[in-house]
Amino acid sequence: MQIITHACTKCGTIVSANELESNRVMKCPGLGCQNVVRFDDLPADDREHFIENRERYDI
């Protein structure tokens, strides 16, 4: 199973695609980081793959 992640450009905290997708737009979970991270920050291919296989990333 492909595991997709995104690194915050400000603090380097890495966020999984399932976390990004469930929030769509979120404050970076890095403590004290004010950056906003979005599911749309992921490359288009990754987003497409994730949405096509979404049920496998749920629990």
Partner 1 sequence: MIGKSHLSMKGVLLSGGTGSRLRPITHTGPKQLVPVANKPVLEYAIEDLKEAGITEIGVILGHKGREEIQDLLGDGSEYGVEITYIVQGNPLGLAHAAGCAKDFVGDDDFVMYLGDNILKQGVVDLVESFESGDHGAGIALQEVDNPQQFGIADVDSAGNVTELIEKPDEPPTNLALIGMYVFSPAVFDAIERLEPSWRGELEITDAIQTLLEDGYAIDSHVVEGWWKDTGKPEDILEANQLVLEDKSLRKEGTIESDATVDGRIELHETATVEDGAVVRGPVSIAEKTVIKSGTYVGPYTSVGANSTLDGVHIENSVVIGDSIIEASGRIVDSLLGKGANVGSADEFLPEGRRLIVGENSQLKL
Positions touching Zn ion (CB under 5 A) are 8, 10-11, 13, 28, 30, 33, 35
∠ CA(30), CA(51), CA(6), 5° rounding?
A: 25
State the minimum distance, in angstroms, from the CB of residue 44 to partner 1.
Answer: 18
Chain positions 1 to 59 lying near partner 1, rule: CB under 8 A, are 1-3, 5, 7, 12-16, 18-19, 22, 29-31, 56-59
Cα–Cα nearest to 2, from 52, 42, 50, 59? 50
Of 31 and 44, nearer to partner 1 (C-beta) is 31
